[in-house]
Amino acid sequence: MELRKDPITRSWVITGDDPVEYSPRPETACRFCPDAPNATQVISSVPSAGAWSARSVVHPTPLYHIEGEAGRHGDGIYDRMSSVGAHEVLVENPRHDRHLWNASDDEIGQFLRLAAERIMDLKRDPRIKYVSFFKDYGSNAGQEFSHPTSQITATMFVPRRVLYELRAGREYFVSKERCVFCDILMQEERQAARVIEARGDYVAIGPYAPRVPYEAWILPRNHEASFERTGLSKPGLRVNLAALLRRTLQRVRTFTEDFHLVLHTSPNSLHPSKTLGYWKTIDDDYHWHIEIMPVLATKARSYTFKEVYYSPVSSETAVRQLREAKIEG
């Protein structure tokens, strides 16, 4: 596996001929349950009254490896480097049936704390430019393990979508001296047509221009570029974020079980990069958020193969339906 940069869009892709057959392997025993015989190496745990409440383990087939040199080099007009970084599995809950939508807010809060700790820890490596976590749930979303898990990746490049957001955030800030995400939140809360739910310092909204039906974003109301800083410095806030995440996933699940979830947080600014100007204003012009992209099986085709995102449910209708969805509370 290696990383190649598309010279036109400047986005990195991971590619190569994978020696591991890319088909879901039948799991005999769950390797993420407590006391699993085939357990993977534990990196970090959040202790609780029992043994642990959430923990991070080595990914059994990692896409990125912590050892080695990136060896970034040119090949004519092209750029490539080896896939140096980190790839971990975040076990959200010791119980095999406790997911982010049916676990307690305290358990979800523990998972969020673990995610924040791991991101902060991986950012101490000066080679790492970006760290985040994501979750794919359901067979149409590429779910890998049956145990409730998310995955964390630490890369030597900033992923494409985040790079777009960072550039756009900086441009907006240069002309208006305001954060574009803060401005979006202010308008959304004023208009209230696309607010799914507000809870304490966090808000769930349907984006104005959704990429898929029932797309939802969760953002902190007060400006904050870095999720991990919020997650570690304001422990009380995790309760509201946990509840909002749980309730938003419950709402989404009334339409489809399958979804992608990703955290977008600020890149590694512990080790500033001289070449990238946005590092200087990053704390002012970026605003962390969680994106939830539901996968509707019947509608998947239309947005998978199109160059332009096509969402056959408007944001306003989707938000109204999400708000009215019957959830457990």
- The nearest distance, CB 56 to Zn ion, in angstroms, is 15
Q: By C-beta, is 125 or 228 nearer to Zn ion? A: 228
Structure tokens at 195: 């607010």
Binding of Zn ion at residue 181 (CB under 5 A)? yes
Task: Name the segment binding Zn ion (CB under 5 A); options: 39-47, 135-143, 248-256, 257-265.
Answer: 257-265
Which own/partner pairs from 120-126 qualify as long-range (CB within 8 Å, at least 24 positions apart)? 120/228, 120/232, 121/44, 122/86, 122/152, 122/154, 123/154, 123/228, 123/268, 123/270, 124/270, 125/66, 125/86, 125/154, 126/270, 126/271
287 counts as binding Zn ion under rule CB under 5 A: yes
147 is a contact residue toward Zn ion (CB under 5 A): yes
Cα separation, 212 vs 216, whole angstroms: 9
Supply the minimum distance, in Å, between the C-beta of residue 75 and Zn ion. Answer: 31
Q: Is residue 30 involved in binding Zn ion (CB under 5 A)? A: yes
Pick the closer one to Zn ion by CB: 96 or 176. Answer: 96
| By CB under 5 A, residue 179 contacts Zn ion | yes
Instruction: Compute how many residues bind Zn ion; rule: CB under 5 A.
Output: 11
The residue among 98 and 320 lying less far from Zn ion, judged by its C-beta, is 98
**Binds Zn ion by CB under 5 A, chosen from 99, 197, 264, 268:** 264
Out of 73, 96, 124, 280, the only residue in the binding site for Zn ion (CB under 5 A) is 96
Q: How far is the CB of 324 from Zn ion (least distance, A)?
A: 26
The two structure tokens encoding residue 314:
């408007």
Residue 181, SS3 per DSSP: helix
* Residue 163 identity: L
Going residue by residue from 188 to 227, which x/- string records binding to Zn ion, judged by CB under 5 A? -----------------------------------x----
Task: Give the range of 41-49, 125-133, 141-149, 199-207 binding Zn ion by CB under 5 A.
Answer: 141-149
Of the two residues 84 and 91, which places its CB atom closer to Zn ion in the complex?
91
The candidate with the shortest Cα–Cα distance to 158, out of 168, 166, 149, 146, is: 166
Nearest-approach distance from CB 160 to Zn ion, in angstroms: 11
Strand order of the β-sheet with 2-5 is 12-15, 2-5, 78-82, 73-75
**In the complex, what is the shortest distance from the CB of residue 89 to Zn ion, in angstroms, rounded to a whole number?**
11
In contact, 243 and 315? CB cutoff 8 Å: no
Give the CB-side neighbour count of residue 207, counting CA atoms within 13 A. Answer: 17
- The Cα-based distances of 268 to 113, 223, 229 in angstroms read 18, 18, 12
Could you tell me which stretch among 15-23, 51-59, 146-154, 168-176 binds Zn ion (CB under 5 A)?
146-154
Supply 25's token pair.
């392997």
Q: Rounded distance, CA 16 to CA 297, Å?
A: 29
Q: Which residues bind Zn ion (CB under 5 A)?
A: 30, 32-33, 96, 147, 179, 181-182, 223, 264, 287
